[in-house]
Structure 1
């Protein structure tokens, strides 16, 4: 019998194929009560960025379109209070184990596209000790093709400042860039960070780029 990684409540272990082979799934890492606090994005959402409860294109995607940018993004969960608390522990308190909770969702993304996590700046990586996005991908194959220079933390910026932020991404030297890439991030807010990464890859002639985040 294991304990919930969020509330430490004991979890009765079900005899499943995954359990027999010690595969970590949300069902054997979190209790049912904690699992129920995470909300999946409903069927009614923006078709381009997955913003919830929107009929047709959201205002964000319309504004991107005015700039000649057509968002091609997917997400699974709402960024609700439970997710905020989860990321506070996972990212900012450094509870690395919590990356296992949602890793199975990322493992299902494997396809023709190469999964590429957004990198942290060297300063953020040193402070945190790990890249929370790369940790989500431990159960699947991925390639780290980008680097990031120092910039203000997105969490410290308001919406206007995020949209006005400069592109701090660059491509790692001497890497082979595949023709099809799926960029991975943890949370989609304004989309500015992901679009910076998309722009960087497009300048290097990557022909097909889409994006994915756990939350929107």
Structure 2
């Protein structure tokens, strides 16, 4: 008798192969739901991981999407976030999956990404991996920080160096408002001289949140700040 899919509750049929005999990674999703998690493939923006193949020509500049090109044109933001890597397409399936996970408290759904995140992070070198924090209000609403929970499920030792004030969602702001927004983060440690920092969040949407965090870390002396997100919105 198989296990049940965390998402749709159907029975997971275990297919025994020679390779499977030597693997102990548990399956949390059925084949159909697993298919809904689509890796970002092909040519990507070298800054934010956005698929360039799906973008019209007027929204890209060589190897970069127009949005990142504009960020890098702004002197105050140039080079602040060295690079973001996203693992999955933010398609309809993942949108609903993460909504259930984040907003309806289905915490166990984080298990589906543990192995993938752990395997991706294994070869990377950094001094700290920092999950993007929620404001106290959002944390109270949800009961947990979805980004920290994903890292914990992957067995990653994380560092809480940032706190966050409550603010309107970045996606609701105009581009100009995002560029000029006041700092929403504060640092709990002020000396990060020469250190390499990896930020982690569940979704990259406008890039504003990650860049604001990165700016504060760079001002505290961080040598470089990169980010990893589960999905590219």
**Which band: TM-score by shorter chain?**
0.7 to 0.9
| Aligned with residue 132 of structure 1, among 146, 151, 168 | 146
Cα separation, partners in 2 of 1:200 and 1:79, compared to 1, 3 Å: same
What residue ranges of structure 1 are gaps of 5+ in the alignment? none
Match of residue 145 from structure 1: 161
Highest Rg: 1 or 2?
2
Verify the 8 A CA contact 1:42 1:53 in the aligned structure 2.
Answer: no
Cα separation, partners in 2 of 1:178 and 1:119, compared to 1, 3 Å: farther
Match of residue 187 from structure 1: 203
Deviation at 1:47, TM superposition (A): 1.4
Match of residue 136 from structure 2: 122
**In structure 1, distance between residues paired with 2:116 and 2:204:** 16
Match of residue 63 from structure 2: 56
* Count of matched residue pairs: 209
Q: Deviations over 1:114-153 (max 9, x none)?
A: 2111001111111101100001111122111111111123
- Report whether the alignment pairs 1:82 with 2:83: no
What residue ranges of structure 2 are gaps of 5+ in the alignment? 54-61
**In structure 1, distance between residues paired with 2:157 and 2:36:** 29
* Root mean square deviation of aligned Cα: 2.2
**In structure 2, distance between residues paired with 1:77 and 1:6:** 17
With normalisation by structure 1, the TM-score equals 0.88
Cα separation, partners in 2 of 1:177 and 1:121, compared to 1, 3 Å: farther
Verify the 8 A CA contact 1:121 1:149 in the aligned structure 2.
Answer: yes
